[in-house]
A = this chain, B = another copy of it.
Amino acid sequence: VGTVRVLTDDAAGADALAVFNDIRAKRNTDYVNNFWRALANDPAQLKDTWNRLQHVMAPGALDPLVKEMIYIAVSATNNCSYCVHSHTAAARAKGMTDPKYAELLAVIAMASQTNALATALQVEVDERFKV
């Protein structure tokens, strides 16, 4: 029920199928979720997005679970229903416990409240916060 068809393996072209297979291999699963199957209508966008996602979410100065929780925070604030669902599932798979999730939600809620207050009050940025 999206604006494009969610492509099955059979409906996908060779370029898209190669990405599906890479997703399956890297994630060690047979399942390819709808986001990728929808993106497959534009194989170049599919491939570029998948490659960058792997790069951005890889372990680095921040660990993968922290990255997933930041992803959830952005997705919830942007109100992307699909992304909230998929990244909450991903975070749990990477070890997000219930207490961590509760604290994540508490920070999102707190920030949303103070964001609204600072914006409604049009508070001027303190000189010391500027680089």
Contacts and interface: CB of A to CB of B under 8 A. Distances in A.
A: contact size bracket:
35 or more
B34 A107 contact: no
A31 to B, nearest CB: 7
A126 B33 contact: yes
A122 interface: yes
A2 B124 contact: yes
Given A57-B107, A70-B108, A81-B125, 20 more contacts: A3-B122, A5-B131, A6-B123, A35-B114, A35-B123, A39-B117, A41-B98, A45-B106, A49-B113, A62-B69, A62-B104, A74-B108, A78-B116, A80-B115, A82-B118, A85-B129, A85-B130, A109-B113, A109-B116, A112-B112
